[in-house]
Structure 1
Amino acid sequence: MFAIAALTLFRLWATAQFDLVPDEAYYWLWSRVPSAGYYDHPPMIAWWIWISTHIFGDTLLGVRALAVVSVFVTSMAVYGIADELFDDNRIARMAAIWLNAMLLIGLAVIFATPDAPSTMFWALTLWVLARLRRTGNPRLWLLIGLLAGLGCVSKYTNLFLGPGILLWLVIDPKARPWRSSPWTLLGGGVAILAFSPVLIWNAEHGWISFAKQFGRLADQHVGLSFFAEFLAGQLGLLNPVIAIFVGVAIWHLSREPRKIISSPLTFLILLNGPIVAYMTIHALHDRVHANWLAPAYPALAILAAVAANRASGVTHLRRLSYWVTPVGIGLSSLVLLCFATPFGRHFPWGSPADNVLGWREFSTQVEDMRQRSGAGWIATTDYGLTGELAFEIKGSRLVQQIVDRQRFFFETPDASLIEKPGLLVVRISENRLGHYMNCFQSSAPLGILNRQAGKRVIESYVVLKVDGARKDILSNGCNPT
């Protein structure tokens, strides 16, 4: 555990050195106005950022601190789950370390997005369920319900844990005492109570958040290319070596039909089966983003650790296991170190890391242009750009998005802003500049600004001074007839 604590301290330092991902900046905007719900997701990440920025200020560390610490907590939960299920310290230690060797955990869940609390509360719920399975203490259902409910307050993906618990209750003989127990119902009641603020908020806002997320079910296209992308993404982000051991664990379990129903591995598979099954089926019809499966990763780390320990006598598998930590933790730490130094800020090739590059310098240029032009506010057309400019300029009230205003139900913008000239900043790649200009009485181009990594241009933006905005632009958005 000392190694994971040291790794956590390194991650806290490294993530405080490079710019926010656009989504993080957007969630930071949420945290300025704490609410029981938002257009895109439940509110937990906004609450976390509100807490951490009140401790560390509106800084990079302030935004990301709890997300990074949550990976440490998740690692402890993985250790606890494995210890409860197998009573083997070696498996527990390996599982906790291998969780951190998963590239999705080390390079994505450490950022301030809903995946951080979602994964942590999922793992903590499994830990208490494993304790319940071993000890039979009925009062644990109350804690299970609380943790599961908080998971759903983090991300709607955590709703899949409910069907997983039902599968375990129906199939595992060890769960028989709880099938008709009032404690089980009480746990479910606590979960609903914990989730109720999100339900109430959605009811008051026309179920807009549910419609946003669950509307994906109706927007589907048949295409195996999505499935291939899904498999390739999971193989890479899981850590290819860990993926092999997960397969070995499932293969060994299938060869023990007499033990399969009550096996600890089956316990993990049942609880995580619904989310894995749904994402797999969904990938046959539409794109599944790699991070959507993050809550299942703690269980997969345990499956892999069990397989590695049971295959220790097999020479080639034992040698393969030696590569997990160097490949996973070594590579993710090297990437973080790279982008925490000046070299990363001048990275010569395009990559997903472009999301954290160049925002500070670009925002400074935008603010300088605003002041020189006499503009009283900044109009944007992308939620990520809105968040980045607001965070870097430290003027969230001055930066207002003029499209998709439903994303900003949580704030009450200053209506007097539109009486002043503004600065319109639009990505050239949008190809909708003419559409946006129709929402103002006059406009004058001021130039083009580039967001760069060193000399490499990541994205170009056209900047215009605009005046005479439509009266409803900060309520209904830019929707010219």
Structure 2
Amino acid sequence: MSSAGFEHWLDSVHRWRWPLLLAILALRIGFLAFNGLDLIGDESYYWDWSRRPDWCYYSKPPMVAWLIGASTWSFGDTAWAVRLPAVLLGTGFLYYLHATARAFYGTRAAALTLLLVLATPNNVLANFLMTIDPPLYCFWIAAVYYLRRAVFDGHQRAWLWAGCATALALLSKQAALLQPLALAVFLSASAARRRHFRGDFWRYLAPVVLAAVPILVWNDQHDWVMFGHSKSHFGNEGEFDAWRRLRDVRDFWFYQLLLLNPLMFVLTLATALRGLSGFRQWDDERRFLWLMGPAWLLLILALSFGQKVQGNWPMPFYFTGLILVAGAAPAPGRWLKAGLAVGLAMVLLTYALPAVLQALNLQNSKLDPTKRFKQWRVLAERIDTYRTESGSDRPVLVTVGHRFLASQLAFYLPDHPRVYRYEASGGVTSQYEVWPGPNERLGQPAFLVADIQAARFDKRWSDSLEGLTLLGEVADPAKPSTKYYVYRAEKLKAWPAPLTLHQEGHASP
């Protein structure tokens, strides 16, 4: 495509942005309705949270559970309803991203930023999987937009709107606390902007503090379990293993290349590094955008060399980096154009994949990359057969194993039963240990699904079960060599309470 043709394309993207956003929304809703892919473990886990609304949970603030709960209350407990908020939030994210880029660099940069984001595989995932990321992304960039209006355009009411957006981001994920910190650094670094500390900054901060209060109160009532979980993500346990560290670094950086599109990652990283070296020479607008994203991106990338870092941690920090990339690209070169073309082709292929697999009769074959997204429904059907044959009328349903075993069975068993989880370590490693056990149902029959045989149950758990009978074994559809063991107990005599709320993964008296 010629430069003139590319510029005309960008102009068309901006002029037709509303029909484009509506078309993308329709495409994504259609994909949700017809893809046939099961929920991943995190989605069913958050769905189980949504059945017990609260101000906070074991590892995260409540927003993801609230949104899923509102959607499933309206449309029923289906995978489509669980994921619908991700699509709606993703559309809001695209709107605010375009508006933010336009406010800083004009319509051309806004259109280019929109295309850059649409050409990233991460944008597909964030508009399909309903995890904590979609609300964080949407509210993070909304806050950046309103801060732009407040700081640079002088709109006083925008300070409050920005604070509300950051508060919603904080209710989505703890990482949102970095936003007011970035704003404070920006205002401190600009002599002309320090006057905002006399009132505007605190007006912005008030909704954030208000949102933090119920989270803090809940944690005070639950042994600060969310903070303990967050702390466990930092530092290294056990002896240093150089090869393991290199593997973690390799996997993390590969994840960034894969989710961002290699070209987008390189361009954003280069922009972040330029900001590190030229911060003093940059104008306030570029400083602001750099502090709202690329600065934290560099910190996370550096952290990855010292400890294991989750691949999604840096994602919200790329957004303002891409705005900087678009604003600094007066005439996109052929590599940028090629990167956009390849990225958009990857995105379209992803959406078309279920239909392509069906047309080629490759569904559930070894060549089907979506096969692992269908395992839990199959597993639940097999386990439900044992439940029906066991003859007990709604026995206590207990799992021994990963938290996803409990949450996926709760979602995919036909009656969406309440599932309890026994944690053999005695520690609190999930929300299931924070919630009360089935104490009101002691003395009733129990139906157990475990990833270990009864001979390996610890004494506390074995002593809690009377008349334990093996009903059968069920192979994991994703890993046939792995088995789940299905048991029936004539009586659940006791429910061993967690020994501690302080330590994750092991118990202390």
Please say whether Structure 1 and Structure 2 have the same fold, judged by a TM-score greater than 0.5: yes
Tell me if structure 2 keeps the 8 A contact 1:14–1:340: no
How is 1:156-175 mapped onto 2 (pairs within 5 angstroms)? 156-172=174-190, 175=193
1:136 aligned partner, one-letter code: G
Q: 104, 107, 111: which one pairs with 1:85?
A: 104
Q: 53, 57, 61: which one pairs with 1:34?
A: 53
Q: 2:11 is matched with which residue?
A: none
Q: 2:249 is matched with which residue?
A: 227
Q: What are the superposed Cα offsets for residues 246-268 of structure 1, whole Å, 9 maximum, x if unpaired? A: 24545776897785243x33321
Q: 1:291 is matched with which residue?
A: 312
Q: 428, 435, 442: which one pairs with 2:467?
A: 442
Provide the rounded CA distance (Å) in 1 between the counterparts of 2:278 and 2:216: 43
Structure 1 range deviating more: 437-446 or 468-477: 468-477
CA, structure 1 residues 120+273, in 2 after alignment: closer, same or farther (shift >3 Å)? same
Q: 2:289 is matched with which residue?
A: 268
TM-score, reference length from structure 2: 0.82
Shift of 1:136: 1.5
CA, structure 1 residues 335+297, in 2 after alignment: closer, same or farther (shift >3 Å)? farther
Structure 1 range deviating more: 5-14 or 187-196: 5-14
CA, structure 1 residues 144+333, in 2 after alignment: closer, same or farther (shift >3 Å)? same
Shift of 1:360: 1.6
Confirm whether residue 407 of structure 1 aligns to residue 431 of structure 2. Answer: yes
Q: 122, 130, 138: which one pairs with 1:120?
A: 138
Secondary structure of residue in 2 paired with 1:452: coil
Provide the rounded CA distance (Å) in 2 between the counterparts of 1:22 and 1:274: 32
Provide the rounded CA distance (Å) in 1 between the counterparts of 2:317 and 2:356: 28
CA, structure 1 residues 83+422, in 2 after alignment: closer, same or farther (shift >3 Å)? same
How is 1:300-311 mapped onto 2 (pairs within 5 angstroms)? 300-307=321-328, 309-311=329-331
Provide the rounded CA distance (Å) in 1 between the counterparts of 2:277 and 2:305: 28
Q: 2:366 is matched with which residue?
A: 348
Structure 1 range deviating more: 372-381 or 197-206: 372-381
Q: 1:425 is matched with which residue?
A: 449
Q: 459, 467, 486: which one pairs with 1:463?
A: 486
Shift of 1:409: 6.3
Provide the rounded CA distance (Å) in 1 between the counterparts of 2:56 and 2:372: 26
Secondary structure of residue in 2 paired with 1:425: strand
CA, structure 1 residues 86+324, in 2 after alignment: closer, same or farther (shift >3 Å)? same
Secondary structure of residue in 2 paired with 1:310: coil
Q: 1:384 is matched with which residue?
A: 404
Pairwise CA RMSD of aligned residues? 3.2
Confirm whether residue 104 of structure 1 aligns to residue 122 of structure 2. Answer: yes
1:310 aligned partner, one-letter code: P
Provide the rounded CA distance (Å) in 2 between the counterparts of 1:137 and 1:102: 33
Provide the rounded CA distance (Å) in 1 between the counterparts of 2:126 and 2:115: 17
Shift of 1:116: 1.3
Shift of 1:318: 4.1
Provide the rounded CA distance (Å) in 1 between the counterparts of 2:71 and 2:90: 15
Tell me if structure 2 keeps the 8 A contact 1:33–1:410: no
How is 1:116-265 mapped onto 2 (pairs within 5 angstroms)? 116-172=134-190, 175-178=193-196, 180-219=197-236, 223-247=245-269, 249-250=271-272, 259-262=281-284, 264-265=285-286
Aligned residues: 470
Shift of 1:467: 3.4
Provide the rounded CA distance (Å) in 1 between the counterparts of 2:55 and 2:355: 36
Shift of 1:47: 0.4
Structure 1 range deviating more: 271-280 or 196-205: 271-280
Shift of 1:113: 0.9
CA, structure 1 residues 374+297, in 2 after alignment: closer, same or farther (shift >3 Å)? farther
Shift of 1:8: 2.4
Provide the rounded CA distance (Å) in 2 between the counterparts of 1:345 and 1:414: 40
- Structure 1: unaligned runs, 5 residues or longer: none
Provide the rounded CA distance (Å) in 2 between the counterparts of 1:31 and 1:346: 31
Provide the rounded CA distance (Å) in 1 between the counterparts of 2:437 and 2:160: 41
Q: 1:282 is matched with which residue?
A: 303
1:47 aligned partner, one-letter code: W
CA, structure 1 residues 315+205, in 2 after alignment: closer, same or farther (shift >3 Å)? closer
Provide the rounded CA distance (Å) in 1 between the counterparts of 2:455 and 2:348: 43
Tell me if structure 1 keeps the 8 A contact 2:119–2:344: yes
2:52 aligned partner, one-letter code: V
Q: 2:14 is matched with which residue?
A: none
Shift of 1:464: 2.0
CA, structure 1 residues 141+338, in 2 after alignment: closer, same or farther (shift >3 Å)? farther
Secondary structure of residue in 2 paired with 1:217: coil
Provide the rounded CA distance (Å) in 2 between the counterparts of 1:159 and 1:251: 23
Tell me if structure 2 keeps the 8 A contact 1:84–1:134: no
Select the structure with the greater relative contact order (CA < 8 A; seq sep ≥ 6). Answer: 1
Shift of 1:310: 2.3
Tell me if structure 1 keeps the 8 A contact 2:279–2:287: no
Tell me if structure 2 keeps the 8 A contact 1:426–1:433: no
Tell me if structure 2 keeps the 8 A contact 1:79–1:93: yes
Q: What are the superposed Cα offsets for residues 135-168 of structure 1, whole Å, 9 maximum, x if unpaired? A: 1123322121111121111111212222211222
- Percent of pairs with identical residues: 23
Provide the rounded CA distance (Å) in 1 between the counterparts of 2:483 and 2:163: 48
Tell me if structure 1 keeps the 8 A contact 2:466–2:491: yes
Provide the rounded CA distance (Å) in 1 between the counterparts of 2:302 and 2:187: 24
CA, structure 1 residues 63+201, in 2 after alignment: closer, same or farther (shift >3 Å)? same
2:411 aligned partner, one-letter code: F
CA, structure 1 residues 459+330, in 2 after alignment: closer, same or farther (shift >3 Å)? farther
Q: What are the superposed Cα offsets for residues 433-452 of structure 1, whole Å, 9 maximum, x if unpaired? A: 43355542332222221242
2:259 aligned partner, one-letter code: L
Tell me if structure 1 keeps the 8 A contact 2:58–2:225: yes
Q: 25, 50, 56: which one pairs with 2:75?
A: 56
Secondary structure of residue in 1 paired with 2:450: strand
Provide the rounded CA distance (Å) in 1 between the counterparts of 2:488 and 2:50: 30
Shift of 1:416: 4.6
CA, structure 1 residues 146+199, in 2 after alignment: closer, same or farther (shift >3 Å)? same
